[in-house]
Amino acid sequence: MPAKTPSSSIAKPQPDDTAEGRSHALSALLMPKNGLMMAVEQALLRGDGAHASPPIAEQIAARLAGLIALDLLQPGQRLFETDISEILHVSRSPVREAIRILERDRLVEMSARRGATVTAPEERGLQDIFEVRTALYAILLEQVIAERPKDLDTVFEQFLPRLVQASSETPEAYAVQSFLFNLAIADLCSNHLVVDQLKAISLRTLRYVRLGLVSSPELVPRSVKSWRALHAAVLKRDVPLSIERSTQRIGAVLDLTVRAIRQSQPAANKGRARA
């Protein structure tokens, strides 16, 4: 896979309430959904099946989250309720609720002066998320291997070929499949608290994973290899080894993404200095 230059979106000084900035957000909303956006929606539109379709606010939040994860709504971009409601032909109330959902998932932040603004990936938040994810995944694997080993085998049989195929396409495609793979494993766990916590950080995890893979696409094959190593441990029903390999896999993605964030910081500081 040819190497690509690291994503520089974090470093770009973003337009906010200018006409250019507002049209940028609107044009992003008009773009057709792709695989990554659909994956994000699956994570965000997590209901209990009581409704025929998710509430409008959750649908809007899922749409915006997909754009943020794809870097089509970039760090520093302001989200205006009026503009979003006009382009989506909805009232401002569900848009306001959608922004609250994104704030909960740390994809946007609110301030009295600027309103809703897309957050920038930052190293401290990344470290916290991956520390929690590593611990939760250990609990998840121990329980699923003990209670539903055959179902876990089936998930690996379904998703590993898709992961391999995606690895020959783009880093974004690979991020999608890895994301869906993890969700499928999580769905096997009977500990609903663990599942809920993993899904609560899934959007930020996806955003960070994509950032790391885009910055170093040549490392995607190494990620595939780590998934295969985890599969081998699962087939042996070796819980300690499975947890060890899962921890190594998550740690490798963490290191990759930390490098991507650090590479973006000098340019970001220059952008702020010029502002």
Per-residue pLDDT tens over the stretch 21-63:
565 666 777 777 776 777 767 766 765 444 557 889 988 998 8
Q: Give the global pTM.
A: 0.81
Q: Quote the pLDDT of residue 3.
A: 43
Indicate the burial class of 136 (C-beta count within 10 angstroms; 0-12, 13-18, 19 or more). buried
- From the candidate CATH numbers 1.10.10.10, 3.30.70.980, 1.20.1260.10, 3.40.640.10, the one assigned to the domain spanning 9-120: 1.10.10.10
Is residue 246 pLDDT above 70, yes or no? yes
Interval 170-174 mean pLDDT = 91
Place of tokens 């993605």: 253
pLDDT at 4: 43
Provide the β-strand partners of residue 78: 117
Token digits of residue 188: 């096997």
CATH 3.30.420.40 fits 123-263, yes or no: no
Q: Comparing C-alpha atoms, which of 254, 155, 137, 272 is closest to residue 204?
A: 254
Q: Which residue has the higher pLDDT, 267 or 98?
A: 98
pLDDT at 134: 97
C-alpha span between 258 and 215 (Å, rounded): 10
The residues spanned by each domain of the chain are 9-120, 123-263
Give me the helices (H) in the chain, please. 19-30, 35-44, 56-69, 81-88, 92-104, 123-147, 149-167, 171-186, 192-200, 202-215, 220-235, 239-274
Q: Six-digit token pair at 130?
A: 């991956």
